Chain A
Amino acid sequence: MALVQQSSPHARRARPTSRVMLWVILAALPGLLAQTLFFGWGNLINVVWCIALALGSEAAFLKLRGKPVAFFLRDNTAAVTGLLLGLSLPQFTPWWVSGIAVVSAIVVAKQLYGGLGSNPFNPAMVGYALALISFPVAMTTNWAEAATLWGGAPGFGETLAKIFTGGQTAVDGWTMATPLDEYKHKIASHTSVEVLGHPTFGDLIARGWEWVNLAFLAGGVLLIALRIITWHIPVAFLAGIAAMSLAFGSNADQYAPLQLHLLAGGTMLGAFFIATDPVSAATSHQGKLIYGAGIGVLVYLIRSWGNYPDAVAFSVLLMNFAVPFIDHYTPPRTYGHHKARRGVPGRSGG
């Protein structure tokens, strides 16, 4: 009789990484649904295209690196990177721009750094930022006009053709500036009331965008409820934006109002799905709070005084840089210790 020899614990919870990632994908579906309903087929096509390319480039690079392809592909992390890019990119982004974003996310930001778990930067945001800097026109003029599927959005075939063949037919009628962009540029010469009267903003806060953001918020709450993410990063992220807005942006004739910051642009997607990427985020609760708040503050800074209308990608990447520093100074206080042991061995309070 050969008894199995195993180190304790012998029991395990059956929730592997692949399932965690699947939950992230599922939780993002309400947001994708809202995007599709309010802005047409663009995001859905982007998502499918980006996921396919992400899986393809991941598989190719795993093979090059001599790693078991199926074993790693099954963890669904490449699919999540593709999904996040598909959700973030403008609806009519040309296929090759999104393609470059995806391939650089998977190959450069992830595989070249050593694959899953070893990337210091959020892969999807590396891809996004690269595309934004390299192809600023393609990345800012391809946002779909807010038009519901049932009320004037371009059809599936037309959208597909626009993305993959770059057809110029009536494109101008399909695209427009995002609410954040619009507000930023118009507020210099108009009052807040005038700007918000523009059809871009619709009847509520930011036509279509508020539903998309609320849908991502709902998905994010689900992830917290499932204990896949903790509340620390999203809450600190949103609090950072809110605090900055309250401190500096109370004059709506000068800066975009808080509700616009929270419910337009990529705020909720960024707060719950992007900034919470565990590999590149800070690790302790205190660290996560600092990390999240830092992103929120940077988002506000860049949106208000920077050149770009939105700033989730840059803010996340900048805070990724700060993660080792944050982790260094924010270990939790261990049971039985008076205070946390910060810093490195031999040079710390303890």
Chain B
Amino acid sequence: MTQLWDFTGGIHPPENKHQSTARPIRKAAMPDRLVLPLQQHIGEPAELVVAVGDRVLKGQKIADVTNGMGVPVHAPTSGVIEAIEQRPVPHPSGMADWCVVLKSDGEDQWCALSPIDDYKQLEREAVLQRIREAGISGMGGAGFPTDIKLRPPRDRKVDTLILNGAECEPYITADDMTMREQAAEVVAGLKVMAWILRPSRCVVGIEDNKPEAIAAMRQAVAGTQIEIAVVPTKYPSGGEKQLIQILTGQEVPSGGIPADIGVMCQNIGTAVAVGRAVFEGKPLISRVVTVTGEAVREPGNFEVLIGTPIHHLLETAGMSQERLDRLILGGPMMGYTLTTDSVPVVKTTNCVIAATAAELPAPPPEQPCIRCGQCAEACPMELLPQQLFWYSKAGEFEKAEHLNLFDCIECGACSYVCPSSIPLVQYYRFAKGEIRTQRAEQLKADRARERFEARQARLEREQQEKELRRKERAKAAAEAQAKKQAEAEMAAADGQASDDRAAKAALVQQALERKKAKTAADTKEQPVPSSTEVADDKPDIEALEKQLTQAEAKLNTMQGMLDEARSQQADNVEKLERAVAKNHDRVQRAQQALDQARKQVAEEPASSQ
């Protein structure tokens, strides 16, 4: 018997799993068109390796990531690439992203496959490459590229490989049904991963509410060293950190990864995909999805091609459009609502709940928090949700962070139990988002400051260099002067030269005086107003008018700015006031100039006659 530990907190929501386990896994009918998002994994989006109009075969790679982290995308059936366009993708925000639209040709014709029987003959690296080339990313939710996960850092030896079959979320039964029906495939894939990692312990954790799955898996692992650990049903035992604690008694360090304590968790669906990639050479082009909720007539699990629109899947399960109230992707605890049923199934889609209004009713209005502490009792991370809520609501993010806000796994246990029906998780998401934004802005501000300081330093340095050069020049000039003076003194000894110079100076003086006298006489002869700039010529009324309008416009703008600054009590009011006064003067001057010019123009015809 495997030793088990408990994790603190946790809840027991109604399971609602029986609805979707009554029927075996069915194959969903193929839709006319498949919509394949280029980013279904964590990392960089894949880039297209085929062109619009190309015919592709089932299993053919249609997009790949060449730079950075990511996995390729494959055609789930044979057909023609119809378009590459923005389409709504599964995301809490309801956003659109680049998708390949594949029109099925109905032939479902496979590309050439290269299955291998004895993978142990290969290098581990070759098997990892095969897993990557099959487009496998974690199928439990996050979608982290599996081949990268299977390469832990060199200094982190994985001692315990955990296969997560807890499936603690209500409603979801995809892993349960997979284990029941494909236990051998699950174990085959697990064995490949164990061979890559060489852990000393390999354990499958399954909640005790899945007796059929436990029995099937026990049978499948008979004769191997793989343990089947039956864990008590308690949400969120399937959370990675919680399952690790249950099975090993260890805690993943805050901000760390399981490999830090020598543990790795893999998902049931991922194990199946790895097995298929190795033994059959097939890429990840389909997955098991639970379709349930009271708005569908025939809830159950389906083997669905990646890219199948949700509405197609719901039609297969017999959805009643009138009864549908909300559409949830994922479970009722951590899943998110969809804005449209046209989003496709992706590699991480494990469940679709078509819920009626009575099934998952809207929460009652939020009441004040009475600090009852039910949330703290339920929190599996041992946080103080009531304090986090208080700080998140008050915008005291620093305090929230201090109380380990970022350790929150958003499992929803606190919101589930809250008697005041406060959407706690929503508050935490908000606080996390605000903190991230603030950090990004801080980073930006820091960079700007660094840039500014560097510029200041450069300018100062240049100024100093300039100063230095100036001084050097001055020094050189002084020396030259001294030298010249010395020469002059030497010359002074010769009296002739000196007399010559005095005579020249007297001549220049005379010439200057003559010129002055002439200028004075000219001015008397032509008494033109000298105050205007257009004194010599005809005044340019048009130009002056333009000048005036411009000055007035500028004054208006300034006045507007001043009013605004005043109303907002800005600190630049004084500066603006000065600017307005200055512009006011300018307008007046322009007005005067214009008036004078007009007068002059009016008089001129008479005087010129």
Contacts and interface: CB of A to CB of B under 8 A. Distances in A.
B316 interface: no
A334 B383 contact: yes
Given A6-B326, A230-B377, A12 B416 contact: yes
Contacts of A331: 384, 387, 403
Given A8-B425, A334-B407, A13 B417 contact: yes
A279 interface: yes
A17 B241 contact: no
A10 B419 contact: no
A345 B398 contact: yes
A121 to B, nearest CB: 13
B333 A11 contact: yes
Contacts of B419: 15-17, 19-20
A4 B369 contact: no
A9 B334 contact: yes
Given A10-B326, A283-B386, A3 B11 contact: no
A13 B369 CA distance: 16
Nearest to B335: A8
Given A117-B371, A283-B386, A345-B402, A9 B325 contact: no
B182 interface: no
B24 interface: no
Given A10-B326, A341-B403, A283 B376 contact: yes
A284 B404 CA distance: 15
Interface residues of A, number: 45
Given A16-B420, A334-B254, A10 B332 contact: yes
Contact of A20 (B14, B372, B412, B415): B372
B377 A12 contact: no
A198 interface: no
B402 A348 contact: yes
B11 A13 contact: yes
Given A6-B362, A9-B333, A335 B372 contact: no
A12 B415 contact: yes
B337 A117 contact: no
B373 A77 contact: no
A283 B377 CA distance: 11
- A16, A20, A333, A336 pick with most chain B CB within 10 angstroms: A336
Contacts of A16: 364, 367, 419-421
Interface stretch (B215-223, B245-253, B552-560): B245-253
Interface in B372-414: 372-374, 376-377, 380-384, 386-387, 398-399, 401-404, 407, 410, 412
Interface in B272-329: 321, 324-328
Interface in B409-453: 410, 412, 415-421, 423, 425-426, 429
A11 B423 CA distance: 11
Contacts of A228: 372
B407 to A, nearest CB: 5
B494 to A, nearest CB: 84
Interface string B9-53: 001011000000000000000000000000000000000000000
B336 interface: yes
Given A6-B337, A11-B416, A335-B245, A117 B370 contact: yes
Given A6-B337, A17-B420, A337-B254, A12 B363 contact: yes
B230 interface: no
Interface string A13-31: 1011101100000000000
- A7, A8, A116 pick with most chain B CB within 10 angstroms: A8
Contacts, number: 169
B369 A117 contact: yes
Interface residues of B, number: 76
A11 B429 CA distance: 18
- B241, B334, B339, B402 pick with most chain A CB within 10 angstroms: B402
A11 B404 contact: no
A279 B371 contact: yes
A283 B326 contact: no
B187 to A, nearest CB: 30
B367 A116 contact: yes
A1 interface: yes
Interface string B325-362: 11110101111111111000000000001010100101
- B170, B325, B382 pick with most chain A CB within 10 angstroms: B382
A346 B402 CA distance: 8
A278 B370 contact: yes
Given A116-B370, A278-B372, A341 B404 contact: yes
Contacts of A345: 398-399, 401-402
B257 to A, nearest CB: 11
Contact of A278 (B252, B360, B371): B371
Contact of B321 (A1, A11, A19, A283): A1
Nearest to B396: A345
A231 B381 CA distance: 21
Interface of A: 1, 3-13, 15-17, 19-20, 71, 75, 77, 115-118, 227-228, 230, 278-279, 281, 283-284, 327, 331-337, 341, 344-346, 348
Given A6-B326, A12-B415, A16-B364, 20 more contacts: A1-B321, A4-B326, A6-B337, A6-B362, A8-B336, A12-B421, A15-B417, A17-B370, A17-B372, A20-B419, A117-B369, A227-B377, A278-B373, A279-B371, A335-B241, A336-B241, A336-B252, A336-B255, A336-B256, A341-B402
10 contacts: A7-B426, A8-B335, A10-B353, A11-B360, A16-B367, A20-B419, A115-B368, A117-B370, A331-B403, A334-B383
